[in-house]
């Protein structure tokens, strides 16, 4: 979990730069946007996956560690979306992202909405509720991948 804290600290330190860059949709070329969003998704995957052994009962429930992973996840989950602007097609992204921007935005909002109850369960310390919320968030990820990823 020390890696999580270090990643969190780095993301917090860089967030003003990242947010400014992302909000301005400033990417030198499509490959820059693709690499940016892929990197953000890898961070999301790492911090979400870190919860899996807890929800599967493979490691003891450590409420502080779970809250730490979710703190980072809540930050990095805001990053990739700006890198899907016009002209950034490619990578593992399906053309449907650009053909159905409203559907893609809805999938993004649904995913972000599932993080709220997942985060709330970490404050309660209830493993059963954490499991249920984890499954809901994972299902949201899968649904988006099924629709918008090659």
CA 15 to chain centre: 15
H/E stretch holding 132 reads helix 127-148
Strands (E), 4-54: none
Please indicate whether residue 6 or residue 21 has the higher confidence score (pLDDT): 6
> What DSSP state is assigned to residue 80?
G
Q: pTM of the predicted model, to two decimals?
A: 0.81
pLDDT of residue 125: 87
Please indicate whether residue 45 or residue 7 has the higher confidence score (pLDDT): 45
pLDDT at 133 over 60: yes
pLDDT at 147 over 70: yes
CA distance 55 to 133: 10
- What value does the mean pLDDT take over residues 58-69? 96
Return the CATH number at 79.
1.20.120.10
Please tell me the total count of domains within the chain. 1
State which residues form the domain around 26. 2-148
**Cβ–Cβ under 8 Å, residues 114 and 133:** yes
């Amino acid at each position: 979990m020390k890696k999580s804290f270090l990643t969190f600290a780095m993301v917090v330190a860089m967030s003003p730069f990242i947010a400014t860059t992302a909000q301005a949709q400033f990417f030198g070329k499509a490959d820059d946007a693709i690499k940016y969003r892929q990197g953000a998704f890898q961070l999301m995957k790492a911090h979400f996956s870190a919860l899996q052994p807890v929800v599967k009962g493979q490691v003891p429930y450590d409420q502080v560690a779970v809250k730490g992973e979710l703190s980072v996840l809540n930050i990095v989950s805001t990053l990739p979306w700006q890198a899907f602007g016009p002209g950034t097609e490619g990578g593992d992204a399906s053309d449907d992202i650009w053909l159905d921007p409203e559907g893609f935005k809805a999938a993004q909002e649904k995913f972000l909405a599932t993080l709220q109850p997942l985060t709330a369960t970490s404050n309660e310390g209830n493993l059963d509720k954490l499991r249920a919320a984890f499954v809901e968030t994972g299902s949201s990820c899968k649904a988006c991948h099924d629709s918008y990823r090659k």
